[in-house]
Structure 1
């Protein structure tokens, strides 16, 4: 059963401006431990790839917060929701701390899709009640 659906669109140039203005502080506030490693890897290789990565993760976390109905309010914290990838490239949501506990208590599981093109990053998250729990 669907619990909630969230979508978000993010301006990549807005993320670029935030990164230029605040440096790593912005990314470190938004990205979790696993994401920050990938962000720095991409940024070092081709700066714009890092910015696109940051924008897709930002959009996915906004979409996630909408799908669970909390917005960016406790227990939803930016760094406790990570958008990682399986070996196949499929994006997955990995949760930590109180946010993980909150979602586990509701038996939620998630499906996430992210995309970016030119100056736009897009994400969609579907939260569903896990019937096997």
Structure 2
């Protein structure tokens, strides 16, 4: 069963300008260590950060909270599975919100897709509840 859906479109040029203006302070406030390590290795650094920023916004929408109810940026992190497929890892209040959404006897599956076509980055999240067992 689908518990939540979220999408976000992010302007890569806006993220590039934010990186130029606030640099490490912005990156440390919004992105996890794993996200920073991955994005800093990319030639298209701003696009990498923009895809992850869009994913966080989309995840917050799928959770039904937006970025309120105490959920912080760094509690939602884009991770890559061994296949390279993106996934989302939640901690803190974001993980607690997800747990509260689940019906008894179910586990959450987060589906994430991210892409970019400059000047835009796009992310789409679907939260699915699957029966345990």
* Larger proportion of helix: 1
Please tell me whether residue 67 in structure 1 is matched to residue 43 in structure 2: no
Distance change in 2, residues 1:54/1:21 (3 Å): same
Q: Please state how far the C-alpha of 1:105 moved relative to its aligned partner.
A: 3.6
Does the Cα contact within 8 Å between 2:3 and 2:101 map onto a contact in 1? no
Per-residue deviation at 1:53?
Answer: 0.8
Matched, 1:101 2:100: no
- How far off is 1:72 after superposition? 0.1
CA offsets per residue over residues 54-101 of structure 1, 9 Å max, x none? 000000111111111000013421001001101211000011122223
Q: What SS class does the counterpart of residue 72 from structure 1 fall into?
A: coil
Mind listing any 5+ residue stretches in structure 2 that lack a counterpart? Answer: 103-107
Q: Which runs of 5+ in 1 are unaligned?
A: none
Alignment RMSD, CA only? 1.5
Which of 85, 90, 93 is 2:80 aligned to? Answer: 85
1:17 shift after superposition: 0.6
TM-score, with normalisation over the residues of structure 1? 0.88
What are the residue-to-residue correspondences of 1:1-133 with 2, within 5 Å?
A: 1-42=1-42, 46=43, 49-107=44-102, 108-132=108-132
Q: Deviations over 1:19-44 (max 9, x none)?
A: 111111112111012111112222xx
Name the TM-score, length of structure 2 as normaliser.
Answer: 0.88
